[in-house]
Amino acid sequence: MKLIQFSAGQGPSECALAVKLGVRRFIEDAEKLGLRVDIVEQEAGEIKGTFKSVLLMLKTDDVNTAQQQCLEQWQGSIQWICRSPYRPKHGRKNWFFNVVLWESDESQPLNTSDVEIKTCRSSGAGGQHVNTTDSAVQLLHKPTGLSVKVQTERSQHQNKRLAFALLNHKIKALESQQSEALKGNLRLQHHQVERGQAVRVFEGERFRERS
């Protein structure tokens, strides 16, 4: 299961807008190559229509060479050069967000006794299945308090599998954060974005790539 995370880290609203533009561009690029992508989880930014974080899932684990190249081109720090649409007098024009591709590790399953499982009806976009079946799955990891809710798939079984994979990833990220904190060098990919080493650069409100 391949998952892709776009994150503005602790950046301002302009970075959250860049995430929105980046996700839209990525989905367009992926679909042109025949890759199917679903939004699994998203964290809204302070300004409506922007996102601090978006988690996407590829609908297939089998990718061809062109598709793999597309994925690799997006991994890392992405730079967006544009005057702030929110703060016209602000001098800064360079905004960054981070993209990470990872595969879920299901070789070490969670202890189900530590997880509270709830099923509920899906909400939002989802066609005829919305509010008709209890296909959405919400998990709470009692030892850490971490929770996830997944409703992208039509079957409860598929949503449950994805939810456990996502929760497992969050727990490992938390453990990594705590480990780094003990070393006095806190660093977590979801909360920190590398600046000055962009793998791709886009410009303007149309989000056109710099050649």
149 and 120 fall within a common domain: yes
Q: What is the CATH number of the domain that holds 141?
A: 3.30.160.20
Give the predicted TM-score (pTM) of the model.
0.74
120 and 88 fall within a common domain: no
What phi and psi values does residue 181 have, to the nearest 5 degrees?
Answer: -65, -40
Q: How far is CA 35 from CA 3, 26, 68, 154, 193, in A?
A: 13, 10, 10, 19, 26
**Sheet containing 115-120: which strands, arranged edge to edge?**
115-120, 136-141, 146-150
Range of the domain at 156: 112-182
Nearest residue to 142 (alpha-carbon basis) of 172, 119, 111, 121: 111
Strands 136-141 and 146-150, by their bridges, are antiparallel
How many domains is the chain built from?
2
- Confidence (pLDDT) at 93: 95
86 and 135 fall within a common domain: no
Cβ atoms < 10 Å from Cβ of 207: 16
- Confidence (pLDDT) at 130: 47
- Confidence (pLDDT) at 112: 86
d(CA 99, CA 76): 5
Tens of pLDDT, residue by residue, the chain (211 residues): 788 999 998 899 999 999 999 999 999 999 999 999 989 889 999 999 999 999 998 887 789 999 999 999 999 999 999 999 999 899 999 999 999 888 776 666 778 899 999 988 776 544 444 445 678 899 999 999 999 888 877 788 888 888 888 888 888 878 776 666 555 544 444 445 556 589 999 999 999 999 8
Q: What is the CATH number of the domain that holds 59?
A: 3.30.70.1660
Q: Determine contact, residues 204/80, Cβ cutoff 8 Å.
A: no
Q: Three-state secondary structure along the chain?
A: CEEEEEECCCCCHHHHHHHHHHHHHHHHHHHHCCCCEEEEEEEECCCCCCEEEEEEEECCCCCCHHHHHHHHHHCEEEEEECCCCCCCCCCCCEEEEEEEEEECCCCCCCCHHHEEEEEECCCCCCHHHCCCCCCEEEEEECCCCEEEEECCCCCHHHHHHHHHHHHHHHHHHHHHHHHHHHCCCCCCCCCCCCCCCCCEEEECCCCEECC
Q: Is residue 55 part of a domain?
A: yes
100 and 199 fall within a common domain: yes
